[in-house]
């Protein structure tokens, strides 16, 4: 008898590197021009193939950043596309370089050459090794570090937001090592609007430069959790009310041939009704 697969185990609280329990080779992030050229060609086309558009607003909040320091973006982690979205933001909105921690990066070793590096959560020692390395990557102002502080994929609109302490660790140690870092929340929503494909909707929150760190890490994370949850809830409320004021497109699909025919037929009908 064939077993029917059910969706009850779509989400798991155990990180995949713990589940797989395999040795993971640590790879440092690099910026190799050839592979960046390939990624710059492939990743936008992947988004365009699967989504009708990628739109964003709040980029003016980045004007408040310290342009001599790296930007640490923190965002929700709901699906496989989040890293691809981060790459597009870093390369085509911020015009900079990406840094991204990926679990099980041994499955995607080429990502090392476009700014990614692994984090293995099998042991606390392995995880802290990745975090220590992550701090060293926040050394240049064109670095756009894309971090998922939830630490694991969560369902869309998961509540409450719960951040792991890695975010506070990075801020604290970037301040110590480089004299400061910019911290910017990004709410990312994947949703169907008026088209036959979903759309990627991003909102950049207030960008805050940090030059000292005199916080308890847990309290700092709780503060950011509340602020980020409010940003995401406000974004969802605006989407639900059909309010897209202030958004601009990074990508938008051209009208497909069959939708163009549909639009033309509707226009013919409208012209005929106007004559009556």
- Residue 11's pLDDT is what? 86
- pLDDT tens readout for residues 219-229: 999 999 999 99
- Residue 77's pLDDT is what? 95
Given a contact cutoff of 8 angstroms between Cβ atoms, the answer to whether 26 and 102 are in contact is no
**Hunting for tokens 């709040």 — which residue is that?**
58
pTM, full prediction: 0.89
- Residue 100's pLDDT is what? 97
- Residue 13's pLDDT is what? 85
- pLDDT tens readout for residues 234-245: 999 999 999 999
For 101, residues 6+ apart whose C-beta sits below 8 A from its C-beta are 116, 117, 118, 119, 130, 134, 147
Is cis: bond before 211, omega within 30 of 0? no
Domain ranges, ordered by start, for the chain: 14-275
For 82, residues 6+ apart whose C-beta sits below 8 A from its C-beta are 75, 76, 148, 188
Candidate CATH numbers 3.40.1130, 3.40.50, 3.40.5, 3.40.1000; the one for domain 14-275 = 3.40.1130
- Residue 87's pLDDT is what? 97
Given a contact cutoff of 8 angstroms between Cβ atoms, the answer to whether 71 and 186 are in contact is no
- Residue 159's pLDDT is what? 94
For 257, residues 6+ apart whose C-beta sits below 8 A from its C-beta are none
- Residue 9's pLDDT is what? 76
- Residue 31's pLDDT is what? 97
pLDDT along the chain (276 residues), means of 10: 66 83 86 98 96 97 95 96 97 97 87 95 88 97 97 92 95 97 98 94 97 95 97 97 96 74 67 55
SS (H, E, C) the chain: CCCCCCHHHCCCCCCHHHHHCCCCCCCCCCECHHHHHHHHHHHHHHHHHHCCEEEEECHHHHHHCCCCCCEEEEECCCCCCHHHHHHHHHHHHCCCEEEEEECCHHHCHHHHHECEEECCCCCHHHHHHHHHHHHHCCCCCCEEEEECCCCCCCCCCCCCCCCCCHHHHHHHHHHHHHCCEEEEEEEEEEECCCCCCCEEEEEECCCEEECCCCCCHHHHHHHHHHHHHHHHHHHHHHHHCCCCCCCEEEEECCCCHHHHHHHHHHHHHHHHHHHC
**Hunting for tokens 């929700």 — which residue is that?**
76
């Amino acid at each position: 008898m064939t077993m029917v697969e059910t969706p009850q185990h779509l989400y798991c609280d155990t990180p995949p590197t713990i589940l797989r329990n395999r040795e993971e080779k640590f790879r440092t992030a690099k910026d190799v021009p050839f592979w960046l050229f390939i990624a710059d060609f492939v990743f936008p086309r992947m988004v365009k193939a699967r989504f009708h558009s990628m739109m964003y607003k709040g980029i003016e909040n980045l004007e408040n950043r310290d342009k001599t320091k790296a930007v640490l973006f923190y965002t929700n982690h709901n699906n496989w596309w989040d890293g691809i979205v981060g790459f597009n933001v870093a390369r085509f909105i911020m015009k900079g370089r990406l840094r991204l921690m990926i679990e099980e990066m041994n499955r995607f070793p080429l990502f090392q050459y476009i700014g990614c590096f692994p984090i293995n959560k099998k042991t606390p020692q392995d995880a802290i090794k990745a975090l220590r390395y992550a701090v060293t990557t926040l050394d240049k102002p064109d670095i756009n570090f894309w971090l998922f502080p939830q630490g694991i994929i969560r369902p869309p609109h998961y509540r409450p937001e719960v951040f792991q302490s890695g975010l506070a660790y990075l801020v604290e140690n970037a301040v110590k090592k480089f004299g400061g870092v910019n911290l910017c929340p990004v709410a990312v929503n994947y949703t169907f609007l008026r088209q036959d494909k979903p759309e990627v909707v991003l909102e950049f929150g207030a960008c805050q430069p940090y030059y000292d760190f005199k916080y308890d890490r847990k309290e700092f994370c709780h503060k950011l959790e509340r602020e980020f949850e409010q940003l995401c809830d406000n974004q969802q409320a605006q989407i639900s009310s059909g309010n897209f004021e202030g958004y601009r497109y990074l990508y938008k699909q051209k009208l497909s041939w069959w939708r163009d025919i549909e639009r033309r037929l509707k226009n013919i009908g409208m012209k005929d009704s106007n004559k009556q």
